[in-house]
Structure 1
Amino acid sequence: MRLSLRIAAVAIVLTSAATAASADTLEKVVILSRHGVRAAMSSPEKLEEASARPWPRFEVPAGHLTARGSTLVTRMGDYYRQHYAAQGLLKAGDCSAVYAWANVTQRTIATGRAYADALAPGCALAVNTVGEGNNDPMFEPVKAGIAKPDHALARAAVAGRVGGDLSAWSASHHQEAEQLDALLMQCAKGPCPAAPGKRRVFDAKPGFVDGEELAGVSGPEAFASGVTESLLMAWADGRDFAGLGWKGLDEEALTRAFFLHQAEFDLRLRTPYVARILAGHLADRLAATVEGGAGSIGPADAKLVVIAGHDGTLASLGGLLRMEWTLPGYQPNQIQPGGALVFERWKRDDGVRVVRVRFTGQSLSQLRNMTPLDAKTPPLSAPVFIQGCGTAAPAFDCRLEDFETVVRSATRADG
């Protein structure tokens, strides 16, 4: 076949595919988002115990959404509004189409506010919560009293994933710990020389710790988790590390540094028993919302529901439903500020209703540069396969009834 005929044939196929896709109707969207960029949870003085260089200062209290963090969430909200208006889901002035829910922390409520204002400009939407002083069962099911975990079983489930030996599991990450030590202590290659008075990644001994977590762990991974999150937040907030004497801190170094954080998150939050306790109620509510039936978050007829939570919220839900994702510049299953699992309910041209899931969020560069987002400059996005109902369709279509079955099975599993 001549080249021109081949090109024409490909064009016909692509046109047919586009026509088929355009015949599908988007009916509902649920966005489960992590909050935006916040101030570090630890003080600069505490963080400086773990590094050779000073740490940037934030202008807001520990854990609060920063002004830049609010702007970055607004960028995502603007993008969602444009994207879903183009899909025919949202219309200007239709204030009832959008519903916002947030956990009861400053950073999640402020994130919900930024989303609501961007998704429905001029509507002055409320950001709904369970109310100050209350525990939201979607985010804190144990504290809210709707989940009754077996703490010994939670530890056993976590231990069972590492052969019962946390030390051996942690030792397999020695190279990554050395790389983080070199970055924090600013030497050419880790482990760096002794530094009296400093907390080092290798000082943390692997083991289980008592506390609020179902199966909290200690060790280099847990040490790294808090420190590297603080690095990410300050980086995304545009802070000047070079001006404070830091060397070698760039996007590539950050991506490497996130490895230990993700290892700890995967073990602590994505272990199936733990994930079911932490995310079971949320998964049931989310499925009801996607379906638009009883138990929906917000009015059943809302077109777009945005839920502002935490990275742990998305991590445990991902573990429960065995969802995996990877975006360029991040570790597998990492959840950057403003990163979101987006659940879309479509009615295909064949009449079948399906659920399509994707993970989306800003790149490290988009966060650092506060890049405006639109169809030509979108955030990063990856389709997510739902085990047990995903198909070989390009967006891994999962039939709506099969999605509901998968969620019911996951939230009611034994052990």
Structure 2
Amino acid sequence: MNVSLSRLARLGGPLLSVALGLSSPLTAHAQDEGHYVLEKAVQVSRHGIRPQTDTAKLVEATQRQWPTWLVRDGELTGHGYLAASLMGAWQAEQYRQAGLLPAGCPQNGTLYAVSSPKQRTRATAAALMDGMFPGCGEKPHASAQSLDPLFQTDKMDFARVDPAIAKAEILTALGGDLQAAKARLQPDLDLLKAAACVEGKPCPFYDAQWVIKQNDEGRLKIKGLDKASSLGETFRLQYSEGKPMREVAFGHAADAKQVMALTRLHRAKYDFVNDTPHIARRGGSQLMNQLRLALEQGTPLEQADPLGNPPAAPLLVIVAHDTNLSQLRTMLGFHWTLGEYQPGNIPPTGTLAFERYRDADSGERFIRTTFVTQTPDQMRHLTPLNADNPPLQADFSLPGCKVTQVGTLCPLKDFAERLNTAIDRTALTAYRYP
């Protein structure tokens, strides 16, 4: 579904936006002037900036050495920690202005933060808490196990995909023919080769045949495209980290726009594999079910799920991976294009936020769904976020939703039914929060 694409405006509610390209604020276009009270917020964030997850594979793919980082492969960097804390500070300020959070430290029972067990997600959750509640010592929760059914769902037996269905949907996304799709993307492969490989020397990723494969965990990928995707994502992470431009894409990019052009094959990986309906539903239903239950808490729709319910805190912070967010986005039908990023891109610390409002006059409840992210340069330069330097943002909309002074609001009952319909209940398992 279409969204209003936005940068945040200086307005009186949380996470407010103006449509990109419009000169007047959102309130000038509001269809409804009700008095809306923010009752609940659930946000799902990607982890912050990290290095590549496997340097050896990048070396193998390009036959050249890659710039070093100050942390181990796949771990949150110090720069990434600071960037995430800036995002947390901005988010908390919006929620305080809306009355969801008090000034200072959170009161008991008002906050629950949980992350994937990976180091980069645990560290990002800590950074968000430091930014939101500096000096308060808030500790996010995480499972002691290496696989958590809320986050590593697509690696676990209860949510395995049907290979035949998944492969058929991948082929449909490809346009029916894998090699024809590769040919269409040849200009992007050429651009990436020019940045990643040394002229006149072997370039294995570029010469690799594209093949649809399934690994031992049941996950599907397009071998060949997956390496190209990793190269582009690593270049983007180098830029966000603030590395010298001579190191970013080996000096083959001058600014954020040129770096993001090198991520088109990263986008293609999601278009062709991660965002296909069957793969997204199998991997995303567990998390989406918890989101639905959380948004219904404290309303007539609230229910006890035999598989377990989330903590009943006004603010639920979940720190996950871009795979998790892409699954939710696909199940919702939420599409965005923001700033220099590729369409649908989920940058480090990019956040999918669900806010529940109550109309103080009618008592009716609504959901605002928004995706918010720092710009590449805000991350690179560690720019504090405020009304003069807001993050990028997009609102989700459906027929029956309305534009208001607090954003695009969809009736809670209709939104909850949309989530419930999207969920594959055969891909759920019992869950207890750590």
Q: 1:243–1:179: structure 2 CA closer, same or farther, 3 Å change rule?
A: closer
| Equivalent residues of 2:253, 2:259 under 8 A apart | no
After TM superposition, the score normalised by the length of structure 2 is: 0.82
The 1-side partners of 2:29 and 2:329 are apart by 34
2:172 equivalent to 1:166: no
Match of 1:256 among 261, 266, 284: 261
Match of 2:349 among 338, 353, 357: 338
Give the C-alpha shift of residue 136 in structure 1: 1.5
| Equivalent residues of 1:98, 1:120 under 8 A apart | no
Matches within 5 A, 1:260-279: 260-279=265-284
Percent identity over paired residues: 32
Matches within 5 A, 1:14-413: 20=33, 23-43=35-55, 46-50=57-61, 55-92=66-103, 93-96=105-108, 97-133=110-146, 135-185=147-197, 194-196=200-202, 198-201=203-206, 203-211=207-215, 212-219=217-224, 221-242=225-246, 246-292=251-297, 293=302, 294=304, 298-300=310-312, 302-348=313-359, 349-385=361-397, 391-393=401-403, 395-412=407-424
Structure label with greater radius of gyration: 1
Secondary structure of 1:69's partner? helix
| Equivalent residues of 2:63, 2:204 under 8 A apart | no
Q: Flag the structure with higher strand content.
A: 2
Secondary structure of 1:216's partner? strand
After TM superposition, the score normalised by the length of structure 1 is: 0.86
- Residue identity in the other structure for 2:228: A
Relative contact order: is structure 1 or structure 2 higher (C-alpha 8 Å, sep ≥ 6)?
2
| Equivalent residues of 2:154, 2:219 under 8 A apart | no
| Equivalent residues of 1:258, 1:331 under 8 A apart | yes
Stretches of 4+ aligned residues off by more than 6 angstroms: none
Secondary structure of 1:95's partner? coil
The 1-side partners of 2:420 and 2:28 are apart by 38
Secondary structure of 1:229's partner? helix
The 2-side partners of 1:54 and 1:241 are apart by 16
Alpha-carbon RMSD across the aligned residues, in angstroms, is 2.7
The 2-side partners of 1:397 and 1:255 are apart by 31
Give the C-alpha shift of residue 70 in structure 1: 0.7
Give the C-alpha shift of residue 402 in structure 1: 0.8
Give the C-alpha shift of residue 342 in structure 1: 0.8
Secondary structure of 2:369's partner? strand
The 2-side partners of 1:337 and 1:63 are apart by 12
The 2-side partners of 1:155 and 1:171 are apart by 20
Give the C-alpha shift of residue 213 in structure 1: 5.0
Task: Decide which moves more: 147-156 or 253-262.
Answer: 147-156
Secondary structure of 1:371's partner? coil
The 2-side partners of 1:51 and 1:147 are apart by 34
Task: Decide which moves more: 206-215 or 68-77.
Answer: 206-215
Give the C-alpha shift of residue 234 in structure 1: 1.6
Secondary structure of 2:329's partner? helix
Would you say how many aligned residue pairs link Structure 1 and Structure 2?
A: 389
Give the C-alpha shift of residue 313 in structure 1: 0.7
